[in-house]
Structure 1
């Protein structure tokens, strides 16, 4: 079975455990041991998987970490398990933190059967970082995240490669977080940094306030242009209309509804806008005869917007508020969708 299929099976186990596993032991049995297994370790071989791993730490005697994974006799990964009913954001993992510094392990995993958080010592040698460099959601994940998870398989394990990727992930995530903040609301330092390149003279407080909206608008324009460039490339070779294979209608039946290029292009725009608030993997399209719907998680109780593009005279965008009320707006062109980016992003955020 391919790794991607194994992860899909693990996702089903995790979903079932969310409803049925009430204790830490149940979480270990139903999700964590299968997780260890798909990483290529034999849970029944004590040379590879040591449960209730003990390594005395200073004055702390007899403390245990739930699992230690070994490769060629060396302790490589430490795993601490919390009940699937708990949140990792609130979890205490002091044992994992202490053990990390006194074993040869360079990786530590904290999991509750719904998520796995991966830690290393990027910030300071032999001291586990306070923040994970990678988070994997067992139930909702992208193909790229599955590829990232595959790095931790025993047969492909390379601590040098993992740490190099961990460092890159950490800084790219931090940079993305910073740039997203500047896109939403550029701070004075960012405005001054750009301002020095575009303004001759002193950057007084009045000048900073004057150019701030222009810089924010420029950032948004760059993003729109990049999205539009990709859309042009994606759709240029296609015919004016595309038949959506296996399109599912609102009543759940398969039909021969035609999804037009305009609807697909509008969907890509909305997906890009929603990315400010939510993972794009959760944004889905479902076409019907009278309109085309965009949902979160393919759930009709989580509507994001609708496209009423079947009229020959005009295109209409349907926007939803928090109470699921719909407002219909006439579009002069598809690019007008960007005018309602804030409303779309807010609705997406309400489902985060």
Structure 2
């Protein structure tokens, strides 16, 4: 079984554990032990995996961490487990910080059986960073992230290469955040930087204000083209064609007032991509109406996944349906389409309930 398939199997275990694992021990058994195996360690060999690892830290005597993973007799990774019901953002993991400076391991993992957070000492040697350099969500990931996760396999484990990649990942994240900020509204320095390449005169305040909407429109066009390229790769000739400012009639033959906007198409493709983890993409369908756009399984009114309320000028709302037989509708206001990925778990659960 290749690594990608092992992760798919782990993802299925994680989804099942979300419904049935009520304790930390259940999380360890159902997901974490298989995760250790997937990374190439023998979970049942004390030469490779030491449960309840003890390393006295100052006045803290006999404190334990859940697992220490060893390579060639040396502790390579510390692993702390929390229940799958606990959000890692609220988890207390002070043991990892204390242990990190007392053992030879330079890699620490915190997991709740769904999210996997990786820490090292990039900022200061022998002192664990406060923020993870890489996170992996077993219930919401892509192939690029699987490739990153593969670095941590025992057979390929190279701490120096991992830390080099970790440093790069941190800069990539910071750059992505800055690019997203500029996409939302280019600041003066950003406009001046690009303006010097497209405008020959002096970059006065008036020129900056004149160029700002043009540069923002250019950024939007670049993003739109990248989205179109990915749609073409994913769906081939069936991919919708996205044009700037385009509004397409949902049913041209009916001559109705219904229009399907670019944002609705993009949101549909996001929901379809999320649902594709458990269902063929062809089974996820969209039907537009005057007041909202509906997404179903099998184009069936009895199989609602969500509704997109995007017709208001200032507010966008996504209505999510809980899995059948309940099908309770809850509304969520969003500012950016990317926020739909935050609902991935519920979308997958609802789609799966119809299969």
Q: Do the structures match in fold with TM over 0.5? A: yes
Whether the 8 Å contact between 1:84 and 1:112 is mirrored in structure 2 is: yes
1:345 and 2:337 correspond = yes
Whether the 8 Å contact between 1:69 and 1:78 is mirrored in structure 2 is: yes
| 1:301 corresponding residue in structure 2 | 305
Whether the 8 Å contact between 2:192 and 2:203 is mirrored in structure 1 is: no
Task: Work out the number of aligned pairs and report it.
Answer: 294
Gaps of at least 5 residues in structure 2 are 244-261, 310-315, 321-333, 345-355
Instruction: Tell me the distance in 1 between the aligned counterparts of 2:55 and 2:339.
Output: 49
Gaps of at least 5 residues in structure 1 are 239-260, 306-319, 325-341
How far apart are 1:303 and its partner, in Å? Answer: 4.6
Instruction: Tell me the distance in 2 between the aligned counterparts of 1:322 and 1:232.
Output: 26
How far apart are 1:48 and its partner, in Å? Answer: 0.7
Instruction: Tell me the distance in 1 between the aligned counterparts of 2:161 and 2:118.
Output: 14
| 1:7 corresponding residue in structure 2 | 7
SS at match of 2:52: strand
| 2:29 corresponding residue in structure 1 | 29
| 1:102 corresponding residue in structure 2 | 102
Q: Deviations over 1:259-306 (max 9, x none)?
A: xx3x4134898799559x97994265436999699959998413559x
Instruction: Tell me the distance in 1 between the aligned counterparts of 2:267 and 2:118.
Output: 27
Instruction: Tell me the distance in 2 between the aligned counterparts of 1:209 and 1:351.
Output: 38
| 2:174 corresponding residue in structure 1 | 174
With normalisation by structure 2, the TM-score equals 0.70
With normalisation by structure 1, the TM-score equals 0.70
Whether the 8 Å contact between 2:272 and 2:284 is mirrored in structure 1 is: no
Instruction: Tell me the distance in 2 between the aligned counterparts of 1:227 and 1:196.
Output: 28
Q: Deviations over 1:17-67 (max 9, x none)?
A: 111111111111111111111111112211111111111222322222111
Matches within 5 A, 1:193-342: 193-198=193-198, 200-201=201-202, 203-204=204-205, 206-227=206-227, 261=237, 263-266=238-241, 273=266, 281-282=273-274, 285-286=281-282, 300-303=304-307, 321-323=317-319
Whether the 8 Å contact between 1:227 and 1:272 is mirrored in structure 2 is: no
Matches within 5 A, 1:63-212: 63-198=63-198, 200-201=201-202, 203-204=204-205, 206-212=206-212
Instruction: Tell me the distance in 1 between the aligned counterparts of 2:272 and 2:224.
Output: 16
Instruction: Tell me the distance in 1 between the aligned counterparts of 2:59 and 2:193.
Output: 51
Instruction: Tell me the distance in 2 between the aligned counterparts of 1:168 and 1:224.
Output: 26
How far apart are 1:229 and its partner, in Å? Answer: 6.2
Range with greater deviation from structure 2 (195-204 or 159-168) = 195-204
Instruction: Tell me the distance in 2 between the aligned counterparts of 1:5 and 1:288.
Output: 24
How far apart are 1:192 and its partner, in Å? Answer: 3.8
- Change over 3 Å in CA distance of 1:295–1:96 after alignment to 2: farther
How far apart are 1:68 and its partner, in Å? Answer: 0.6
- Change over 3 Å in CA distance of 1:51–1:208 after alignment to 2: same
Instruction: Tell me the distance in 1 between the aligned counterparts of 2:24 and 2:63.
Output: 17
How far apart are 1:186 and its partner, in Å? Answer: 2.0
Whether the 8 Å contact between 2:307 and 2:319 is mirrored in structure 1 is: no
